[in-house]
Amino acid sequence: MKQGDTMNQIKLALTGLMAALAAASALAGNGPEGYPTRPVTIIVPFAPGGGSDNVARIIAARLNERTGGSFIIDNKPGAGTNIGNEQAARAKNDGQTLLFGQVTLSINPSVYKTLRYDVKKDFTPVAHIANSPTVLIASQHLKASTVKELIAMAKAKPDDINYGSGGKGTSVHLAGELFSSLTEAPMTHVPYKGSAPAVTDLIGGQIQLIFDTAPSALPHIKGGKVKPLAVTGAKRLAELSNTPTFAEAGVPTFDAPAWYGLLAPAGTSAAVVKYLNNEVDQILKEPATQQKMVQMGAIPVGGSAENFGKFIAAETERWSAVIRKAGVTAE
């Protein structure tokens, strides 16, 4: 082999090596040990386009920009979020798979007789992203326009008032059970295989009520397809300034908020958890992020991973009491 040919081969090899190093550098994030070193999957246990999915995509987009990595949403709906939750619980604890958890993690342990994951043992809390008020929305066909009128109707004709949900044991279902218990207003629960068909029937007048999360309810309210009767929380929602709180509507003890947060498989590196928690916390302090969330009815929270863990535990205990009283179970 000629000397010139040898030199050309060396140059080509060096060029290839430099390209490989550049590609590896491009994949490396700015976290501990270059985390994330490859695309991170965020499992969202709901179908695309819902409130949880929309909030998750806001956070994922900003994590992409801030960390130098790639955070990809993977929708795994079904079984009351148990399909997605279980997949996340069984994932490797290398920080490359995260769960976009929400209130069902506080509910499912008390509703389902058997779960193939343990919220306490199989997950590490990472970041409390937001809370979401629950809005009682009614069909435009319903004659009642206030909570007081609704309660009177339900008591006068116990078999006439029904409310839909995305399935038995969901937070929406349990909110209805709690409301009925507190007001002594009989209502019939109509479970659907998902929230979308329930909302469709609400708009069409086949059912009369849904206790929905604000991010999910707001588009339909703003479109004039349904009417809001009341919202949970200590104060009115900015995007629904004309809608009273339940306290203002005469049911001060009713509260059934949803929450959203990031969790990782148990055993995930403390350094990675701390890094992600700090990144999400900074994202939630950004005016642009806050504006996007408020417009969709989510209230940014933030804070430490430890406090998020305590919050989940407290919510689990609170919902457990509601579930025991209502006698709700699911297979």
Secondary structure (DSSP) of 79-101: GGGHHHHHHHHTS-SSSSEEEEE
Structure token digits, residue 78: 């079904």
Residue where the block lists tokens 């919050």? 311
Residue 80's pLDDT is what?
84
Predicted TM-score (pTM) of this structure: 0.83
pLDDT in tens, 91-123: 999 999 999 999 999 999 999 988 999 999 999
pLDDT in tens, 138-163: 999 999 999 999 999 999 998 899 99
Residue 21's pLDDT is what?
40
Mean model confidence pLDDT for the chain: 90
C-alpha–C-alpha distance, residues 133 and 56, integer Å: 17
C-alpha–C-alpha distance, residues 219 and 214, integer Å: 9
282 has pLDDT over 80: yes
Domains located in the chain, CATH noted? 32-132+257-326 (3.40.190.150), 134-240 (3.40.190.10)
Q: Assign 1 a pLDDT band (cuts: 50, 70, 90).
A: low
17 has pLDDT over 80: no
